[in-house]
């Protein structure tokens, strides 16, 4: 998600929707491999973390972070090694012709990932009830408190607040926030207007319909 946030800040795209997808991880390997032959497991760092309980039962395995889960499956298929496995989706196993050694190895059964629908200059989203923004604070004491106060005093409910270091600016942070409501709502419009004065900068990422789990 950190990389996605950075890209949203750098590029002129608007969030027009969100989708919540259940995540089910599988351990997969080349056809001749078994659980006993595995010595290395490849996957995205987030997937490795989401399967930590299963992986802790195999402390001898070397965990190798990779760019993404599907790419890890592809590397296993191309390598044809019996001592390597990947953590990815069941679909990835089918695409790359891998054998699933174990299904549903995620630590939490209620495991979900959020995906954004991105568009360039989209029209108004009917029924939009959620908004995402990114903002930075001024370099003064209590700056974040004052910025968040623009929402609190107008009864705008923040559902997420995440900080990220700003690229090429050491010790400078930007904040990604989600809140309930549409930009055209009077209280939200006023909160953003206040934030433009209180903060250092504000970028509206989009107003969209909240995904149902």
Residue-wise pLDDT tens digits, 87-129: 999 999 999 999 999 999 999 877 788 889 999 988 889 999 9
Give the pLDDT of residue 2: 62
pLDDT band at 186 (very low <50, low <70, confident <90, very high): very high
Q: CA 19 → CA 115, 196, 213, distances in Å?
A: 5, 29, 9
Using a cut of 0.75, tell me whether the model's pTM lies above it: no
Q: Reply yes or no on whether the pLDDT at 169 is more than 80.
A: no
Structure token digits, residue 56: 């802790």
- 160 in Cβ contact with 149 (< 8 Å): no
Q: Reply yes or no on whether the pLDDT at 78 is more than 90.
A: yes
18-33: average pLDDT: 93
Q: Reply yes or no on whether the pLDDT at 1 is more than 60.
A: no
Give the number of other Cβ atoms within 10 Å of residue 118's Cβ: 17
Buried b (16+ CB within 10 A) or exposed e, 134-150: bbbbeeeeeebebbbeb
Give the number of other Cβ atoms within 10 Å of residue 171's Cβ: 7
Give the pLDDT of residue 144: 95
Q: Is 69 a catalytic residue?
A: no
- 196 in Cβ contact with 202 (< 8 Å): yes
Between 135 and 114, whose confidence is greater?
A: 135
User: Strands, DSSP E only, in the chain?
Assistant: 14-22, 26-29, 40-43, 62-65, 84-88, 99-102, 112-119, 130-136, 158-165, 173-180, 201-208
| Low-confidence winner among 128-137, 171-180, 193-202 (lowest mean pLDDT) | 171-180
Structure token digits, residue 98: 């891998």
Catalytic residue among 113, 135, 179, 198: 113
- 156 in Cβ contact with 191 (< 8 Å): yes
- Mean pLDDT score of the chain, rounded to an integer? 92
Secondary element (H or E) of residue 48? helix 45-50
Whole-angstrom distance, CA of residue 12 vs CA of residue 9? 8
All domains in the chain, ordered by first residue? 2-19+114-208 (3.30.70.260), 24-110 (3.40.190.10)
Catalytic residue among 34, 112, 115, 201: 115
196-207: average pLDDT: 94
Q: Reply yes or no on whether the pLDDT at 51 is more than 60.
A: yes
Q: Is 112 a catalytic residue?
A: no
């Amino acid at each position: 998600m950190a990389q996605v946030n950075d890209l949203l800040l750098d590029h002129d795209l608007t969030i027009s929707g969100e989708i919540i997808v259940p995540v089910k991880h599988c351990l997969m390997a080349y056809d001749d491999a078994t659980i006993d032959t595995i010595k290395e497991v490849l996957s995205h760092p987030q997937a490795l973390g989401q399967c930590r309980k299963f992986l802790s039962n195999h402390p001898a395995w070397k965990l190798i972070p990779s760019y993404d889960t599907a790419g890890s499956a592809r590397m296993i298929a191309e390598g044809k090694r019996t001592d390597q496995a990947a953590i990815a989706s069941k679909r990835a196993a089918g695409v790359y012709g891998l054998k699933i050694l174990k299904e549903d190895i995620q630590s939490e059964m209620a495991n979900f990932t959020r995906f954004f629908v991105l568009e360039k200059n989209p029209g108004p989203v009917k029924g939009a009830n959620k908004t995402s923004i990114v903002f930075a604070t001024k370099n003064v004491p209590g700056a974040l408190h004052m910025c968040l106060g623009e929402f609190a005093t107008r009864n705008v409910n923040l559902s997420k607040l995440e900080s990220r270091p700003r690229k090429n600016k050491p010790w400078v942070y930007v904040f990604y926030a989600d809140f309930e409501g549409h930009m055209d709502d009077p209280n939200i419009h006023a909160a953003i207007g206040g934030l433009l004065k209180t903060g250092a900068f504000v970028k509206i990422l989009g107003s969209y319909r909240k995904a149902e789990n």
